[in-house]
Amino acid sequence: MQTTKNTTKNTTMSKTSLLALLALCVGGPLLFAQDHYVMSLLVASMVIGGIALSWALLGNLGGMISFGHAAFFGVGAYTSAVLSMKFGVPVLAALLLGGVGALVAALAMLPVLRLRGPYFALAILAYAHIFRILATEWTSMTGGSGGLSSIPPLPTLPGLDLSSKIGAYFVILFIVLVFAVIYARLRESHYGLALRAMHESEDATRVVGVNSVVLKGMMLLLSAFMCGVVGAFNAHYISFLEPDYAFSALWVTIPIVAAIFGGYRSISGPVVGAVVVYLLDQLVFKNIIPSGHQLVLGVLLVAMIVFSPDGLLPLLRKLFKGKFTRSKHAAT
Amino acid sequence: MSELILQALYSGLLQGGSYALIALGLALVFGAMRVINLAQGELVLLSAYIAYSVESGMGLNPVLAIPIALVVVCLTSAVVYFVVSRIKKDREINSLILTYGIGVILTNGMLLVWKADIRSTSSEWMQEAFVLGPFYSMRSEVLFFGVSLVMMAGLWWWLSRSWYGRAVRAVSSNRDAAKLMGINPGYTELVSFIVAGILAAFAGVALFSYGVISPAYGGVLTVKAFIITVLAGVGSIPGVLIGAVLLGVAEALTVTLASSALQELAGMGLFLLVLFIMPNGLFGVRGRRG
């Protein structure tokens, strides 16, 4: 009984917040459409939001903490860039294939699912290093450490130039929204139920006939696909790639901080967290400490885990709890 | 060619010594607290940078930095423990994210203090060639291989013979029973973090004496330490040494036979091989499988 109540409450919660988020996301560019700096910040923060969402999907549904999402991001970016540059694949199709590329990379990680919790997290970190080395060494395909430049930009559709800042913003917004819907559907499906049960007790779930390894593997592949598409988008958006950029630890650190900050068990949390954390990082921290400003992100991460591991929202709710209960009593 | 291979085996063996120190720090904390300290590599790097400061600032031999490094790194390690012990729920997952965050703090802190430049020792005494029969190496490599062996013997003695060591092992094998025997688990956990700090301090000074360091190197060290613990399996000091030497040899052979850019791939190849063939490691008994 308690569980059903909680679930309904959660869905209505996330629906309202999703609507508010949507209004904000569409309203944002209308206000700042002419300001290139603000728009580029917004696009970048949505890119982080997309990675954070895919990371949170793996963490929340799959119960796996990944420090290797830079691998998916980078592989997606390189797959899409190489396909569109060397094989003439249209950019929008290449975006999807970038996701497929990351999915294939994740297939190589499946053996790691044999390892439990902390071992899995570290193994996937080790994988990220490998993919960076491959991208650097496979010079004929990736241009080596010199990188790839003049990657074809996003195409122009009738009426909307997707390669402009505004156009790119709507593309990444669309991608993130589609992922959020897939995530929400999945969470409500019977797969989501099995995954939640697995979070409680993996052994008990196996006993009732759920193939936990297959389910976890599917979550890993889906998360990789999402992150790969975001990476591919980013490659076409900035039209330049080099291994140290594509596989940078940045693509792991900021999304994790964002997801933890916004609450990685919700769907809107990671995206909202990404926008807040990225804007804070770029507009405030970077001005105070020009190099090494990620230090503040580290402090933020540590503080969140110690004081409120479920995100900032529960902490705020705790602070305003007195007010809430009083108004509730007044209403009834 | 065969001389080259023999030389690579020898260099790998020497390199394995300090790898083993880093991996033991990781394994010790994991054994005592079920927490993987993702900032272990950064602690090693911190000690290496202290050695750099002592050498460049005071003009002393980096070996003399060990006392300062011991104090700073052990204190930092203790702080890591105090923060980790404040985690209230889901410790396994949250401690990973937490120590990752501490790693980010340390990496960027080092970037702020020591800048992004690559550093290495300028001590001539350290870089002098040491010839042992047909083998060549730097003095520092042989010196710190010896130091590592002594440290490992000391750790083995401490874990198996001393009261504290027994307490650490007791808590690691059965927390509740250890409590009933009058052992304070929090205390043994702190002790294991401090011992991991001592190992990291020595490993860091060794790293600076024969290699090059840069702020981003900490994460690579943590991954290497992890690969070694997977190779070795949990719970045996000689196992960790053999795993570390295997990794060192695999890397040295890759550098000799292929290219230095592929060095990290060698470790990964070894890692995947062990994962597929014997998921419990070469010497492990306890299950890691999901």
Q: Do A111 and B109 count as a contact with CB atoms less than 8 A apart?
A: no
- Res. A49 pLDDT band, cuts 50 70 90: very high
* Strand partners for B136: B131
- Tell me what pLDDT residue A117 has: 65
Q: Given an 8 Å threshold on Cβ–Cβ distance, is A136 in contact with B271?
A: no
Range A220-238 average pLDDT: 93
pLDDT-based confidence at residue A325 (cuts at 50, 70, 90): low
* pLDDT at A323 > cutoff 70: no
Q: What domains sit in chain A, N to C, each tagged with a CATH number?
A: 2-331 (1.10.3470)
Contact B105 A116 (CB under 8 A): no
**Which backbone phi and psi does B135 adopt, to 5 degrees?**
-100, 145
For A180-218, write each residue's pLDDT tens digit. Answer: 999 989 888 888 888 888 877 777 777 777 777 888 889
Helix (H, G, I), strand (E, B), or coil: what is residue A30?
helix
- Rounded Cα distance, B224 and B226, in Å: 5
Give A300 or B175, the one with higher predicted confidence.
Answer: A300
Question: What secondary structure, in 3-state letters, does A281-295 show?
Answer: HHHHHHHHCCCCCHH
Phi, psi of B137 (to 5 degrees): -160, 175
Rounded Cα–Cα distance for residues B191 and A124 (Å)? 30
Question: What is the CA A226 to chain-centroid distance, rounded?
Answer: 8
Tell if the CB–CB gap between B112 and A292 is shorter than 8 Å: yes
Q: What is the ipTM of this complex?
A: 0.84
pLDDT at residue number B193: 93
Place of tokens 């330490």: B225
Longest dimension (CA), chain B: 60
As a whole number of angstroms, the distance between CA B227 and CA B221 comes to: 10
Backbone torsion region of residue B70, taken as left when φ is above 0, otherwise alpha when ψ lies between -120 and 50, otherwise beta: alpha
Task: Give me the pLDDT at residue A17, please.
Answer: 65
> Which residues on A lie below 8 Å from B106 (Cβ)?
298
Tell me the C-alpha distance between A47 and A274, whole Å: 9
Nearest CA in chain B to A116: B290
Closest by Cβ to A295, choosing from B30, B109, B220: B109
How far does Cα B93 stand from its chain's mean position? Answer: 22
pTM, two decimal places:
0.86
* Residue found by looking up tokens 């300290």 in the block: B37
Q: What CA–CA distances, in Å, run from A17 to A14, A51, A196? A: 5, 19, 22
Token pair 């010896």 is found at B146
Residue ranges in B63-162 assigned as alpha helix (H) = 66-84, 91-114, 124-127, 139-161
Asked if B227's CB is within 8 angstroms of A126's CB, the reply is: yes
Query: At residue A69, what is the residue type?
Result: H
pLDDT of residue A284: 87
pLDDT value of residue A8: 44
Best probe of the A interface among B94, B220, B223, by most A CBs < 10 A, is: B223
A contacts of B220 (beta carbons < 8 Å): 129
In this prediction, residue B81 carries a pLDDT of 93
Q: Lowest mean pLDDT: which of A92-96, A120-124, A252-256?
A: A120-124
Q: Judge whether B167 and B173 are in contact, CB under 8 Å.
A: no
User: Residue A161: which pLDDT band, with cuts at 50, 70 and 90?
Assistant: confident
Residue A240, strand partner residues: A149
Banded model confidence at residue A321, pLDDT cuts 50, 70, 90: low
> Alpha-carbon distance B201 to B283, whole Å?
27
Instruction: Give, as one character, the DSSP assignment of residue B289.
Output: B
CB–CB of B105 and A295 under 8 A? yes
Whole-number CA gyration radius for chain B: 19
Contact B70, B51 (CB under 8 A): no
Helix axes A212-238, A36-60, angle to 10 degrees: 170
Min mean pLDDT across A19-28, A240-249, A257-266, B116-125 is at: A19-28
User: Tokens 């964002």 identify what position?
Assistant: A258
Tens of pLDDT, residue by residue over A8-38, are 444 555 567 667 767 777 776 677 767 788 8
CA dihedral over B245, B248, B251, B254, signed as positive or negative: negative
Residue owning tokens 């990736």: A142
pLDDT of amino acid B73: 95
Extract the tokens encoding A50. Answer: 């997309």
Residues 6+ apart with CB under 8 A from B267: B223, B224, B227, B247, B250, B251
Please, what's the largest Cα pairwise distance for chain A? 71
Q: Is the pLDDT of residue A322 over 70?
A: no
- B17-76 pLDDT tens trace: 889 999 999 888 888 888 888 899 999 999 999 999 998 888 888 888 899 999 999 999
Nearest to A65 among B96, B105, B262 (CB): B96
Q: What is the pLDDT of residue A1?
A: 36
CA distance B164 to B151: 16
Cβ neighbours around A299 below 10 Å, total: 17
Beta bridge partners of A149: A240
What pLDDT is attached to residue B74?
95
CA angle A315/B89/B86 to nearest 5° reads: 80
Best of B26, B105, B113 to disrupt the A interface (most A CBs within 10 Å) is: B105
Contacts of A272 (CB under 8 A, 6+ apart): A17, A21, A49, A262
More confident residue, B137 or A44: A44
**pLDDT beyond 70 at B84:** yes
**pLDDT exceeds 60 at position B175:** yes
B185: helix, coil or strand?
helix
* Helix pair B40-58, B2-33: axis angle to 10 deg: 120
Cα–Cα distances (Å) from B85 to B34, B76, B82, B95, B168, in that order, read 12, 14, 5, 9, 16
Instruction: Tell me the domain boundaries of chain B.
Output: 21-115+136-230
